[in-house]
Amino acid sequence: MAVDSYQCWYPVEIRIRDLDPLAHVNNTVHFIYFEEARGFYFDQLKPWLSPWPPDDEDPIPPNPRIQTGPYGPRYGMLVKEVTCTYLFPLTRGDRAEVGIKVSQIGNTSFLMDHIIRDRHQPERLFATGRSVMVWCNYLTGRPHPVPLVLRSAIEQLEQQSFPPKNS
């Protein structure tokens, strides 16, 4: 895994409540760290997303299974799958960070790779993971094509191209 290919790093604050009885970070907490890093990643995209989303979205009857409220967002991401491979125990004294990147963009979804490493010894890896994110129309509950402006923002942050796939 090429650690130097990650453009975005989120510093992890290991909390007492994250620990199991052996003083290791509980295995479920790694998923919280991944989630926090995903939020941080999308915050980093804001400079490229300022004119988006448009206000002129056409009305679509809401899906009763998805509660967004009358003024809530119409589009957004849903997590389809998250995996984690544990490599080395993480403890309270460790100073960790989560690297996160988009490794692939499809028509309606994208893959995000995660890596948890030591901030002071970057070669010391604690865990790796992957998230499958689906871009969704919240009102219909169906996948929707990843917007070009979002694809472009990701390309700017990742410093690489993700051309749309013809399907």
pLDDT for residue 69 is more than 70 = no
Q: Given pLDDT bands bounded at 50, 70 and 90, which one contains residue 8?
A: very high
| C-alpha to C-alpha distance for 164 and 159, rounded to whole angstroms | 16
CA 166 to chain centroid, in Å, comes to: 24
Q: Which of helix, strand or coil describes residue 40?
A: helix
In the block, which residue shows the tokens 């890596």? 115
Q: What angle do CA 156, 133, 144 make, to 5 degrees?
A: 90
| C-alpha to C-alpha distance for 1 and 147, rounded to whole angstroms | 28
As to burial, measured by CB atoms within 10 angstroms (0-12 exposed, 13-18 middle, 19+ buried), residue 93 is: exposed
As to burial, measured by CB atoms within 10 angstroms (0-12 exposed, 13-18 middle, 19+ buried), residue 55 is: exposed
Choice among 1-10, 19-28, 56-65, 144-153 with the minimum mean pLDDT: 56-65
For the four alpha carbons of 35, 66, 80 and 146, in that order, the dihedral sign comes to negative
Q: Given pLDDT bands bounded at 50, 70 and 90, which one contains residue 151?
A: very high
Look at residues 157, 11, 32, 28 and name the one whose alpha carbon lies nearest to residue 94. 11
pLDDT for residue 152 is more than 80 = yes
For the four alpha carbons of 82, 126, 122 and 92, in that order, the dihedral sign comes to positive
pLDDT digits (tens, 9 = 90+) for 41-62: 999 998 888 665 555 555 555 5
Do you find a cis peptide bond into 53, omega within 30 degrees of 0? yes
For the chain, which domains are there? 7-53+76-158 (3.10.129.10)
Do the beta carbons of residue 34 and residue 83 sit within 8 Å?
Answer: no
For all residues of the chain together, what is the average pLDDT?
88
pLDDT digits (tens, 9 = 90+) for 85-110: 999 999 999 999 999 999 999 999 99
